[in-house]
Amino acid sequence: MTVDLSEITGSETGPVDGSATDALIEFYRAFNAANLEALEAVWSEGEAPSMNNPIGGIRRGWSSIAEGYSKLFDGPAKVQVAFHDFTSQEGEDWHLFVGRERGVCTTPEKTLHVRFRTTRWFVRKNGSWRQLHHHGSAEDPNMLAAYQRLIFG
């Protein structure tokens, strides 16, 4: 089976070879399903991981990152994104994905198309790939302001 990896939504099937790309797919599968338990399985444990984006802010450590995801998932908005237009670099025990996300943020009252620049850094620990860092930013300040209003009220 050939898998088109020009866009990653989390709905991809095969190949599952234990690669960093598989971990990236699992991240998007968990995020788009608002599944905190599945996200925890993809992120590094403890205080090492970090996240920096306009909704979650700067967060250090899995518990703080999980708190940010919980606020998003338990709020009125549903966010679905796809990763695209990306590059990938790797070493023996690290893998860096740099690209863009596009998607939709929906509340009962409004739908907003969203776009972000995104970096996700994975490291191999104990034989499996775990996300160590995420950075996201928005190029369009008007879209960002509208997105923040939908998320934060």
Of the listed ranges 1-5, 17-21, 88-92, the one predicted with least confidence: 1-5
Q: Is the pLDDT of residue 93 over 70?
A: yes
Q: Given this model, what pLDDT does residue 1 score?
A: 33
DSSP string, 89-125: EE-SSEEEEEEEEEEEEE-SS-EEEEEEEEEEEEEEE
Q: Given this model, what pLDDT does residue 47 score?
A: 97
Cα separation, 16 vs 6, in Å, equals 17
Placement of tokens 């009962």 in the chain: 108
Number of helical (H) and strand (E) elements in the chain, helices listed first? 4, 7
User: CA of 97: how far to CAs of 4, 24, 63, 73, 131, in Å?
Assistant: 16, 9, 23, 24, 11
Cα separation, 4 vs 52, in Å, equals 29
Q: Could you tell me if residue 1 is inside a domain? A: no
- Single pTM value for the model: 0.94
Q: How many domains does the chain have?
A: 1
The greatest distance separating any two alpha carbons of the chain, rounded to the nearest whole angstrom, comes to: 47
Is the separation of the CB atoms in 23 and 130 below 8 Å? yes
Cα separation, 109 vs 103, in Å, equals 17
Q: Could you tell me if residue 119 is inside a domain? A: yes
Q: Could you tell me if residue 11 is inside a domain? A: yes
Q: Given this model, what pLDDT does residue 95 score?
A: 97
Mean pLDDT of the chain: 94
Q: Could you tell me if residue 83 is inside a domain? A: yes
Q: Could you tell me if residue 2 is inside a domain? A: no
Q: Could you tell me if residue 106 is inside a domain? A: yes
**Any idea what the CATH number is for the domain that residue 93 is in?**
3.10.450.50
- Domain of residue 92, residue span: 7-152
User: What band does 13 get if pLDDT is binned at 50, 70 and 90?
Assistant: confident
Q: Could you tell me if residue 18 is inside a domain? A: yes
111-134 confidence digits (pLDDT tens): 999 999 999 999 999 999 999 999
